[in-house]
């Protein structure tokens, strides 16, 4: 079907190319564009097969994944790339280098470079392929197959093999349908006051989006920023370092008891909830191993709830691209307490899931495009109220 999302699979293992290909073929809305055994062959095939999204291994002969990404950047190829590699499990620095070179997201192969149990990451992989492939097709003005069309093409695949938390049909719907009208906003307990903290919740599409926002922040912004980005444990320290290199403000991974200081951004650790609270007259962060909330740890809902409790009407809550609904409910608590709220708009979000739910609940005061998000955050944070 011409409207399906085409996938180029790049891996030096014939077994892995075959297993990944079977997952693509079994997924309604996806189709294989071609397969390549290294980055060089992939570059040769791209002009001919014109894929919508690329699955890329990092460890390959002749031209590895990092070298491919450098050449892709040099050739100004905009096709999104999902890293699927065993290096992702042991080399956070290399993985972050791949993201800094333009890769959109990453998944760890579960058991080494040749993972016969690759099916365990199937739901995660196909959700990313559908999300990034859909967004890329939208930017080109191409039609995207709808969920109903996809199920009609392959009704068996729509039900079988998708036993995890991800619904392929819902992802397809998420990327092609429009948000309904928002509910009536909740009543505010007090009027908004000066912004003393900015809290951001973000997930799928977040690494790219945060690079865009953080690179555009004003160097004189003094309001502390705390961020929950859904990311596995072991990667957020390198992720924070990579953001620090492009941001005029200081960026670091949050540690227990870190104070909230002007001009610094704290990134939640993978697999740790991040909350803010008071210690004497200072505001500090607290990390916890409490159970998952909204399916996540760290959870944007946990962060937003603590921000609302601690800062009341002195907070700005921002919810951005991401699958599911984490953060949508408690963003409303920030609003109720008199804080201000922003949500990323549908057009610029890789997955209009989290911001969509928040918007429909009436918890988003203003929808903002990705390229204007940094400006709105700075303007709100700097305005006296």
Question: Is 301's pLDDT higher than 80?
Answer: yes
Question: Is 258's pLDDT higher than 50?
Answer: yes
Q: How many residues does the chain have?
A: 385
pLDDT at 178: 53
Closest listed residue to residue 226, CA positions, set 334, 318, 104: 318
Cβ neighbours of residue 220 closer than 8 Å, sequence gap 6 or more? none
Tens digits of per-residue pLDDT, 101-118?
999 999 988 766 666 777
Tens digits of per-residue pLDDT, 306-344?
999 999 999 999 999 999 999 999 999 999 999 999 999
pLDDT at 3: 83
pLDDT at 165: 41
Catalytic positions are 203, 230, 326
pLDDT at 101: 95
Show the domains of the chain with their CATH numbers.
Answer: 5-176 (3.40.50.2300), 197-382 (3.40.50.180)
How much is the mean pLDDT over the chain? 90
Beta partners for 352? 322
Q: What is the DSSP code (8-state) at residue 298?
A: S
Confidence of residue 286 (pLDDT cuts 50, 70, 90): very high
Question: Is 65's pLDDT higher than 90?
Answer: yes
Tens digits of per-residue pLDDT, 135-182?
999 989 888 765 555 545 444 444 333 334 444 445 544 444 455 678
Mean pLDDT, rounded, for 3-10? 95
- Terminal-to-terminal C-alpha distance of the chain: 54
| DSSP-derived secondary structure for 143-199 | ----HHHHHHH-HHHHHTT--SS--HHHHHHHHHS---PPPPPPPPSS------EEE
Mean pLDDT, rounded, for 297-305? 98
Question: Is 2's pLDDT higher than 70?
Answer: no
CB count in 10 Å sphere of residue 111: 13
Closest listed residue to residue 298, CA positions, set 236, 350, 242: 236
Confidence of residue 92 (pLDDT cuts 50, 70, 90): confident
- Percentage of the chain beyond pLDDT 90 is 78
- Percentage of the chain beyond pLDDT 70 is 88
What the block records as the tokens of 160 is: 């079988």
pLDDT at 86: 81
Cβ contact 22:46 at 8 Å: no
Question: Is 370's pLDDT higher than 90?
Answer: yes
Find the angle CA(222)-CA(226)-CA(232) to the nearest 5 degrees: 145
Prediction pTM value: 0.88
Tens digits of per-residue pLDDT, 176-221?
445 567 888 888 999 999 999 999 999 999 999 999 999 999 999 9
């Amino acid at each position: 079907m011409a409207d399906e999302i085409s996938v180029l699979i790049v891996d030096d293992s014939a077994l892995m190319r075959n297993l990944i290909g079977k997952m693509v073929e079994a997924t309604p809305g996806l189709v294989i564009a071609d397969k390549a055994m290294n980055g060089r062959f992939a570059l040769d095939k791209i002009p001919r097969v014109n894929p919508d999204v690329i699955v890329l291994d990092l460890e390959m002969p002749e031209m590895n994944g990092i070298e491919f990404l450098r050449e892709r950047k040099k050739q100004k190829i905009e096709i999104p790339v999902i890293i699927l590699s065993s290096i992702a499990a042991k080399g956070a620095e290399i993985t972050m280098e791949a993201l800094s070179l333009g890769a959109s997201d990453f998944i760890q192969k579960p058991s080494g470079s040749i993972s016969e149990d690759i099916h365990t990451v199937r739901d995660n992989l196909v959700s990313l392929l559908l999300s990034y492939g859909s967004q890329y097709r939208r930017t080109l003005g191409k039609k995207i197959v709808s969920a109903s069309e996809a199920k009609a093409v392959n009704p068996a695949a729509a039900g079988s093999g998708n036993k995890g938390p991800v619904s392929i049909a819902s992802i397809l719907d998420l990327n092609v349908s429009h948000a309904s009208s928002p509910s009536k906003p909740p009543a505010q307990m007090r009027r908004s006051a000066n912004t003393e903290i900015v809290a951001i919740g973000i997930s799928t599409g977040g690494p790219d989006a945060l690079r865009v926002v953080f690179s555009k922040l004003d160097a004189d912004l003094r309001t502390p920023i705390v961020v929950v980005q859904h990311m596995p444990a072991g990667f957020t320290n390198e992720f924070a370092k990579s953001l620090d290199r492009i941001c005029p403000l200081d960026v670091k991974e949050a540690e227990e008891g870190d104070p909230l200081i002007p001009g610094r951004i704290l990134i939640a650790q993978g697999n740790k909830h991040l909350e803010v609270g008071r210690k004497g007259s200072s505001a500090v962060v607290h990390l916890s191993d409490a159970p998952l909330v909204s399916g996540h740890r760290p959870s944007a809902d946990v962060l937003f709830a603590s921000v609302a409790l601690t800062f009341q009407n002195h907070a700005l809550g921002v919810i951005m691209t991401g699958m599911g609904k984490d953060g949508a409910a408690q963003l409303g608590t920030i609003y109720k307490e008199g804080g201000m709220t922003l949500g990323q708009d549908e057009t610029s979000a890789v997955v209009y899931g989290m911001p969509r739910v928040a918007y429909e609940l009436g918890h988003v005061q203003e929808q903002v495009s990705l390229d204007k998000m940094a400006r709105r955050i700075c303007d709100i944070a700097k305005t006296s109220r």
